[in-house]
Structure 1
């Protein structure tokens, strides 16, 4: 009966002794530079379903002051709304502690299993390494929610290890996992270009020109097919009329022969 008040008192005491984390600036920063990304069509996945060709937009913004640097990345899907925690990644650099961390710690992407997570983490490493390669990324525990499904855990671990993080588990069931601290310079800024590809403006223009050219050719072919179908229909009507005339003439001739035979 006294457990709840006791816990409340302990929590209040702990909250009083633990200092609040400093408030980070730039809450209202929105992406300012944009780039188109091409999601390469892939075979349907048993867990995530169809994976057709799609084009998405990467937005980014940077801010710097004496204490922090920020890279904000957001993925936008044309004609589709996502939850606030999806398709966004903030990379924070603390110049006083010489550390780098990301928000959120667990990256959620939509559509899943298309290479978006690896691409965002690679962009973060490419941005941070030239200036802050000696800064550290602190180790952290991995949430065990994804570890409950073996396929999800393996996919998550593959993404982290391909970026240079070392993962270890405390149990044989692979539920209590964590990754060790690493220098920013030790990260691997790679993603799978067979899944996701940046598309430049000139490439987009060339693709639109090619699509327009192919569409014009298809319209010409369709017009020719329609003319052929119309010609076949006219020929069909002529044949039907000829056949009807022949049938009528045959019936008349047969009737005439019958009449002549019966009136002799």
Structure 2
């Protein structure tokens, strides 16, 4: 059991490294991803590399062609926006559920985390990301809606920059991370599900705007997708 978990975690770590290579341009759209060379380069065995590529194929980053291996697929701008819309919708509903279940104790937890973000001067740090994740996790736990959370997490994996590692690199992120949660918490404390839903949706959509604007300058997008093609991030 422990060995299986270790391999799973290693596969996730390798998947994150390959995503970074795609985003940095180290590997290009259409490039083949070979198991043995990747394993040697990353100093791991072939098994976690295979697991990582299968995960990336499920999430739309690469395509798996039987007997031909894996290759990187293009990223379409509209697919990123659509993915973010689904993520924003799920997170908005989670905030609405949290508003319907809030307690004085849960609000204290959220207020304390929000206060830490307000005081934090360095929002380009792992600590800033960790505080952000802790605050949103507290809302998720309060919502107690596991299926909604599953959809939110599925959408998060498809966004071409992972919040838990590198989103702080996006210009404008610091301002949203520092001050973007207070109004949502206000609505949760009031028990205003409709208001919490709307504000959390807008909170996530604002990060979408920042991300897409940033990626616009990176020559990352597939500009002319082939008609009927499914080999782009966000398509099955």
TM range (shorter): under 0.3
Name the structure, 1 or 2, with higher relative contact order (CA <8 Å, separation 6+). Answer: 2
Larger strand percent: 1
TM (norm. structure 1) is 0.21
TM (norm. structure 2) is 0.23
**Considering only CA atoms, is the larger Rg found in Structure 1 or Structure 2?**
1
Larger helix percent: 2
